[in-house]
Amino acid sequence: SRVLIGGGSGFIGTALRKLLEHRGYQVTLISRTPGKNKITWDEVKKTGLPECYAVVGMQGSNILNIFRRWTDGFKKEVWDSRVETTKTLAQAISEASNPPKVWVSFSGVGYYKPSYVYDYDEDSPGGDFDYISQLATAWEEAAKLPAENTNTREVIIRSGVVLGRDGGAIKQMYFSFWFGSGGVIGDGMQFFPWIHINDLTRLVMHALENEKVTGVLNGVAPETITNWDFTKEFNTVLLRPGFFPLPRPIVNFALGEERAKMLTEGQAVVPKRTLESGFTFNFPKIKMAFDNMFSYRKWF
Ligand code: NDP
């Protein structure tokens, strides 16, 4: 059966597509550009949803793109590329004559307010205190199907920082760590919610295939770590000293304070509903994740 993935050409989507194809699903990407095994957003708007078993929404302009200044224009692009596209998908699902069985839409742990004190599970409050949290709320709202929908199961995955060799945070940070200059951000005491890409794609699969899974799932590993723990593990696996801390003012200056908070602040997030739903992590601890990502180190 067919699975549609909005934004499926990116870092997470590529890994998900491979896993789905390995399990015998057909995958069609929804993209801004046409191509093989792809449909465009305009086509979805004009002709509706093609027949499919499931839809996964993970499109969005990369917020931490350091080549883009944090201007009102870029903020609107970041917002619309998630919220407007998700509205398009939700509407197409609700209007489909043969609707998909399940609809999984992404969101982020930026929903929860950074804190050194609180642990957040899926039922904790949030989503209303700054740009990123308001974006998470609007993104999740956009995914909601009309109340009369009973055919399509709805799942939201609030993801932490996704760790994998081929993209995302690790790829962005790899060179500074490789050169031995990867240090903590600020004092390093802020929490760093994370998940290994292999677990995240397995979590999507779990949501697609288990009829009991509904609602919000935190896409984070069970082990809560700080930016200091993350930095230490990264440097250990690369055999680097990692001397140079990155002072907050520099990060604020480079990224703009509003978005720099994604790095300089953090939240302790627990995957409560995720575990209750029966999901088991392959990489519950950060050390296991790094050993897996940089397993070539075992060769010498
Ligand atoms: P990528 O940047 O690798 O890929 C996202 C895809 O979205 C792109 O391949 C692109 O597909 C599409 N896209 C990019 N810009 C736009 C735009 N302006 N309008 C519409 N579509 C666009 O992201 P990831 O795979 O890393 O992440 C996927 C989703 O998960 C994102 O929404 C992200 O916010 C969320 N997430 C990611 C985390 C991470 O650590 N990576 C953490 C938490 C949440 P195409 O070119 O085919 O149109």
Q: Is the CB of 81 under 6 A from ligand 1?
A: yes
Cβ neighbours around 229 below 10 Å, total: 18
Rounded CA separation 54/51 (Å): 9
Question: Rounded to the nearest whole angstrom, what is the distance from the C-alpha of residue 10 to the centroid of ligand 1?
Answer: 6
* 102 or 178: which leads in pLDDT: 102
Question: Rounded to the nearest whole angstrom, what is the distance from the C-alpha of residue 58 to the centroid of ligand 1?
Answer: 6
Q: Which pLDDT score is estimated for 242?
A: 84
Determine the atom of ligand 1 nearest the C-alpha atom of 77. 18
Residue 122 lies in a domain: yes
Query: What ranges in the chain are assigned the alpha helix state H?
Result: 11-22, 41-47, 72-95, 131-143, 168-178, 197-209, 227-238, 248-255, 257-264, 272-276, 286-293
Determine the atom of ligand 1 nearest the C-alpha atom of 78. 18
Cβ neighbours around 299 below 10 Å, total: 5
Residue 62 lies in a domain: yes
Residue 239 lies in a domain: yes
- pLDDT tens by residue, 234-266: 999 998 888 789 999 999 999 999 999 999 999
Residue 165 lies in a domain: yes
CATH number at residue 54: 3.40.50.720
pLDDT above 80 (res 70):
yes
Q: Which pLDDT score is estimated for 192?
A: 98
Amino acid at 208: L
Q: Is the CB of 40 under 6 A from ligand 1?
A: no
Q: Which pLDDT score is estimated for 226?
A: 98
Residue 300 lies in a domain: no
Q: Which pLDDT score is estimated for 92?
A: 97
Residue 58 lies in a domain: yes
Q: Which pLDDT score is estimated for 181?
A: 83
Percent of the chain with pLDDT strictly greater than 70: 98
Rounded CA separation 114/131 (Å): 13
Which is nearest to 11 in space by CA: 60, 70, 84?
A: 60
Rounded CA separation 195/230 (Å): 12
The total of structural domains in the chain comes to 1
Contact 56, 6 (CB under 8 A): yes
Q: Is the CB of 107 under 6 A from ligand 1?
A: no
Q: What is the dihedral of CA 26, 159, 224, 172, to 10 degrees?
A: 90
Residue 54 lies in a domain: yes
Residue 233 lies in a domain: yes
CA distances from 7 to 12, 36, 89, 198 (A): 9, 14, 12, 18
Residue 290: domain span: 2-295
What is the mean pLDDT of the segment spanning 172-180? 86
- pLDDT tens by residue, 122-157: 999 999 999 999 999 999 999 999 998 889 999 999
Tell me the helices (H) and strands (E) count for the chain, helix number first: 11, 12
